[in-house]
Amino acid sequence: MKFNYIILSVFLVTNFGCDDKKTTPDKKNSPETGKPNTSDLAQLTYGSYKKLLASGKFREVITEFEKDSKKPNYNPMLHYYAGVAWFNLSEKEKAKGEFETAIKKGLSFPDLYVNYSEVLFFMKKFDECKNVLISAMKKFPKEAGLWYNMGGILFEEGKTDEGIKYYNDALLRNPNYAPALKSLGGYYLRKTPAKALPYFEKLSGMKGFQGEASINMAYIYIRESNWEKAKIFVDKAEKYNASSEMVTRFRKVLKILPSISTIRSLIKEKKCKAAKVELDKLIKENGKSALVKNETENYKKSCKK
């Protein structure tokens, strides 16, 4: 029995497509620790800049950049660092300018184009963004982030099927590409939750995503009335984030839904007296819950004399 009437959408924590949070590998904060995600910093060769970016000290990056870029024969890579910093400071126009300067000065590597295209996306310069991505795809055909960002544009344009194709193309290039796994998982979570499971299962084994993936898997199993598995994944989510409000809410829901399932089965079997016994127990234990109040009304309607 699926409890589609329950409003659980507030618990959903994944995003399908691009939103106002950065989704490429240099996302400012990891979902579990809140610390900077440094998966894209392998390209950064200036140690001090790398440390500042990894520490989330983006203003300090700009201060250093303004000093170092005045020196003769400075490394043009500084423009890339500055672009990353400006983006994380929500200064998209400045980030765009630094990435473009880096390209004009001869820099060419995958993360530069991934980040540059994402800035263009958030500035809603979709046509320009597509042109950048198409050109970069020819140079770096194995870079998953380029296909992922193209998918984000297509989602924004309402071309869902094409967007899904590009997200899957990103995964063909890198089966562990977290943004694509999150986006596809989030999309199916809203459409056909069971289809989201493979994506969250993959994420559940990736550092930094275990808690988020586990809470989403718990949601899916709740939708399927698989209480035992739901509890297992709530426990896993709690392991990674014990203070999570969603973990607390899910625990409360899991104390109530199995009883509601039993009550509804009894009502369906015309065993209203037995259903009333179970309902009274539920009211005694969780009488203030909106779910219990809703089920009380359902009982009254279904078991009218």
Give pLDDT tens digits for 142-198.
999 999 999 999 999 999 999 999 999 999 999 999 999 999 999 999 889 999 999
State yes or no: pLDDT of 43 exceeds 90. Answer: no
Q: What pTM, to 2 d.p., does this model score? A: 0.77
Is the per-residue pLDDT at 233 higher than 50?
yes
- pLDDT score at 152: 95
124 exposure class (CB count in 10 Å sphere: 0-12, 13-18, 19+):
exposed
Can you give the pLDDT at residue 305? 57
**pLDDT, greater one: 271 or 33:** 271
Instruction: Give 18-63 as a DSSP string.
Output: --SS--STT-SS-TTT-SPP-TTGGG---HHHHHHHHTT-HHHHHH
What percentage of the chain has pLDDT greater than the value 70? 84
Question: Which tokens sit at 65?
Answer: 């950049």
Residue 29 clears pLDDT 50, i.e. is over it: no
- Fill in the amino acid letter for 100: E
Residue 58 CB neighbours (<10 A) = 22
What is the CATH T-level fold of the domain 13-208, as seen in this structure? 1.25.40
Ordered by start, the domain boundaries in the chain are 13-208
pLDDT value of residue 153: 96
Q: 10: burial class by Cβ within 10 Å (0-12, 13-18, 19+)?
A: exposed
Is the distance from CB of 16 to CB of 183 less than 8 angstroms? yes
Place of tokens 């586990």: 214
Written as one string, the DSSP assignment of 106-137 is: T---HHHHHHHHHHHHHTT-HHHHHHHHHHHH
Q: How far is CA 66 from the centre of its chain?
A: 34
